[in-house]
Amino acid sequence: MKRADYPTALRTVIGELKRLPGIGPRSAERIALWLVQSRDARADAVARAISEVTTQVHPCERCGFFSTEPLCDICADPSRDPSVLCVVEQPTDVLPLERTGGFRGRYHTLGGRISPLDHVGPDDLRIGSLIERTREEKFSEVILALGADVEGEATANYLAEILNAMHVTVTRLAQGLPAGAGLDHADELTIQRALSGRTRIAPHSL
Amino acid sequence: MRFVLRSLKLRHFRCFEAFETEFSDGLNCIVGPNARGKTSVLEAACILLRLQSPRVSKLAPVVQHERQGFVVDGYFGQRHLQFYFSRNRKKLALDEVAQADAHEYLQVGRVVYFSNTDIELVRGSGEVRRRFLDFVAVQRDGLYRNALRAYDRALRSRNLLLKGYPVRWREVAAFEEPLLAAGRLVSEVRARLVAELQPEADAAHRVISGSREELRVEYRAGAGEDFAQALDAARGEDARLRQTTVGPHRDELAFFLNGQSTEYASEGQQRTVVLALKLGAMRLLERHFGRTPLLLLDDVFGELDVARRNALLAVLPSGAQKLVTTTHLDWMASGLEAHRIPLG
């Protein structure tokens, strides 16, 4: 006797779902069964949304952020300050910066960082277009908002060297103590950086 | 509740499919014939508390043959420690709460490991001595781990770039600032630790050797006086050898008895020196945290005659918890009370 299993169509869906990040075989099975059995499932709508998102969303051709047009909302927004550029590693790094409401310039996403141990070199990143933009858009300041780990630091150093030679002011995010934490919870590397990046408390600000 | 290792459970660890045992506050003897996993039990206790093995630098070989990963699980005082390791992922839990990083977990228990291969500290390569220093330094200052890891990553990145054809120097240079920043910290912490260890090891040496010889421990920075300058000066050499030739990864420790290098000391003297170093590390941690670390003694009694075995046990603080491996117990002085854990 042949052992029964789900019909092929259902198994295909389970197989596809299993490939998604964070979804194991059990969850894949549950989702697939729900799509088939539940009245609220709206499987058509899910399928349509997925297929649309993949055809419509692509990287902004200027900055690499998510967009449905050639230029993303940020690059297309004329009220943005065109003289300041903020360089980040990933498109997902843009949103935390946006949520602060403290930055009104535009962005450039590298798509990663230089990491020899992961076989990622400068040519694998959007560094060429960054140089081009810097030349054409004549920024007064380029802010490097990269990670504070070894690779993030190295990438910042690499970019700073190139950009400084183009006579643009290069800055990087201050590094140091997390807001709301005491000195006793910080490691020496952090304290050392916080110390070297210390800021003056001017008399009038008190 | 005393701060001692109360229990230990293993799964898929070295030769053990599954194993569990409890420990007493004082002396615990793990007894059994060879190849039954006595050393593995000590190794597991060390990995449970410190997340690293005293025997190997990578944990992959600790996984039982043809298994995905191992689990070590145990109680230290009231704290419940759990660690799962496989080649693809590691999971840590402290009191059943998953830990995103190891910092708090590693504050729970501290360890000094005595082994019959300790003589390598004098005879072996510099790597052995740096590992010893770092093992103690991370326990004394938990955040030192971050500097050590950053240095390791920056160093491996720079070395990999130096092996490229042609070498892309702008990328090499980009990794030098993080290398220098982390490297300076590593040197500082190690130098400070040696300065603290020196008097403790010397005092311990006087007690166990009964001699008046002075034991001196000297730290020699592989980065020289000024790491940035040394790195700059070595650039030609680095390009030729395609690796970073200066830095804390070339740090050395040297030991002297009355000013004479221990390289030429007798085997007996060398064994006394390494024992003094371990006892010194124990005192240092004890002084710093107000309690004696867990003492793991792996087959250290093998080479010693009965009188010396008991003498060694006598220099270890009587109140400290000790896990000892031995093939038999006949030699132990009759007054000693030991909790016996038979294997095999």
The half-sphere exposure of B287 on its side-chain side, counting CA atoms within 13 A, is 10
Distance of residue B106 Cα from the nearest chain A Cα, in angstroms:
14
Pick from B99, B101, B104, B50: which is nearest to B72 by CA? B50
Phi/psi of residue B323, each to 5°? -115, 125
Distances, alpha carbon B287 to alpha carbons A101, B196, B278, B280, in Å = 50, 11, 14, 10
- CA A19 to CA A62: how far, in whole Å? 31
pLDDT digits (tens, 9 = 90+) for A55-114: 999 999 999 999 999 999 999 999 999 999 999 999 999 999 999 998 999 999 999 999
CATH match of A80-200 with 3.40.50.920 = no
DSSP B256: E
Q: Residue B116: is its pLDDT beyond 90?
A: no
Residues of B in Cβ contact (< 8 Å) with A154: 154, 157, 171, 174-175, 177-178
The half-sphere exposure of B36 on its side-chain side, counting CA atoms within 13 A, is 13
Contact between chains at A161 and B173 (C-beta distance less than 8 A): yes
Nearest CA in chain B to A159: B174
Whether chain A has a CB inside 8 Å of the CB on B147: the answer is: yes
What tokens were used for A167?
Answer: 């006579």
Distance of residue B120 Cα from the nearest chain A Cα, in angstroms:
31
Domain coordinates of chain A in residue numbers? 8-56, 80-200
- CA B139 to CA B251: how far, in whole Å? 19
- CA B80 to CA A170: how far, in whole Å? 49
- CA A146 to CA A173: how far, in whole Å? 8
Distance of residue A123 Cα from the nearest chain B Cα, in angstroms:
12
Across the range B203-224, mean pLDDT stands at: 91
Whether chain A has a CB inside 8 Å of the CB on B101: the answer is: no
Q: What is the dihedral of CA B235, B239, B240, B246, to 10 degrees?
A: 50
- CA A93 to CA A146: how far, in whole Å? 9
Give kind and range of the element (H or E) at residue B310.
helix B306-315
Of B160, B178, B182, the CB nearest to A116: B160
Kindly tell me the burial class for residue B58, based on how many C-beta atoms sit within 10 Å of its own C-beta (0-12, 13-18, 19 or more): exposed
The DSSP result for A138-199, as a single string, is --SEEEE---SSHHHHHHHHHHHHHHHTTT-EEEE----PPTT--GGGS-HHHHHHHHHT--
Q: End-to-end CA distance of chain B, in Å?
A: 31
Q: What percent of chain B has pLDDT over 90?
A: 76
Distances, alpha carbon B175 to alpha carbons A44, A153, B229, B244, in Å = 51, 8, 16, 12
DSSP B60: G
Fold classified for A8-56: Helicase, Ruva Protein; domain 3 (1.10.8)
Strand A141-144 to strand A169-172: parallel, antiparallel, or no bridges (unpaired)? parallel
Q: Answer whether B145's CB lies under 8 Å from B135's CB.
A: no
Distances, alpha carbon A46 to alpha carbons A11, A39, A42, B32, B152, in Å = 18, 13, 6, 63, 46
Residue type, B293: P
Residues of B in Cβ contact (< 8 Å) with A192: 181, 185
Nearest CA in chain B to A184: B143
Sign for the pseudo-dihedral over CA of B205, B207, B211, B212: positive
pLDDT for A205: 55
The DSSP result for A72-119, as a single string, is -HHHH-TTS-TTEEEEESSGGGHHHHHHH----SEEEE-SS--BGGGT
CATH of B118-291, one of 1.20.1050.90, 3.30.70.580, 1.10.1380.10, 3.50.50.60: 1.20.1050.90
- CA B24 to CA B18: how far, in whole Å? 21
Contact between chains at A150 and B178 (C-beta distance less than 8 A): yes
pLDDT confidence tier of residue B293, bands split at 50, 70 and 90 = very high
Q: End-to-end CA distance of chain A, in Å?
A: 85
Of A122, A187, A193, the CB nearest to B171: A122
- CA B78 to CA B93: how far, in whole Å? 14
User: Which numeric CATH code is attached to B1-109+293-344?
Assistant: 3.40.50.300
What tokens were used for B146?
Answer: 């971050």
Residues of A in Cβ contact (< 8 Å) with B181: 189, 192-193
Q: Answer whether B75's CB lies under 8 Å from B6's CB.
A: yes
- CA A162 to CA A122: how far, in whole Å? 12
pLDDT for B334: 65
pLDDT for B210: 80
pLDDT digits (tens, 9 = 90+) for A107-134: 999 999 999 999 999 999 999 999 999 9
DSSP B142: T
The DSSP result for A2-36, as a single string, is PPP---HHHHHHHHHHHTSTT--HHHHHHHHHHHH
Distance of alpha carbon A46 from the chain centroid? 25
Nearest CA in chain A to B156: A117
Across the range A30-38, mean pLDDT stands at: 91
Q: Which residue has the tokens 């006087």?
A: B206
Across the range B45-61, mean pLDDT stands at: 92
pLDDT for A95: 94
Q: Answer whether B1's CB lies under 8 Å from B291's CB.
A: no
Among B106, B168, B184, B243, the strongest candidate for a mutation testing the A interface, having the largest count of A CBs within 10 A, is: B168
Mean pLDDT of chain B: 92
- For CATH 1.20.1050.90, the residue range(s) in chain B are 118-291
pTM of the predicted protein model = 0.88
- CA B118 to CA A142: how far, in whole Å? 54
pLDDT for A195: 84
pLDDT digits (tens, 9 = 90+) for B141-193: 888 999 999 999 999 999 999 999 899 999 999 999 999 999 999 999 999 99
Across the range B311-334, mean pLDDT stands at: 82
Residue type, B79: R
Residue type, A192: Q
Residues of A in Cβ contact (< 8 Å) with B160: 116-117
pLDDT confidence tier of residue B36, bands split at 50, 70 and 90 = confident
Pick from A132, A127, A130, A142: which is nearest to A81 by CA? A142
Residue type, B2: R
- Upstream peptide bond of B166 is cis (omega within 30 degrees of 0): yes
- For CATH 3.40.50.300, the residue range(s) in chain B are 1-109+293-344
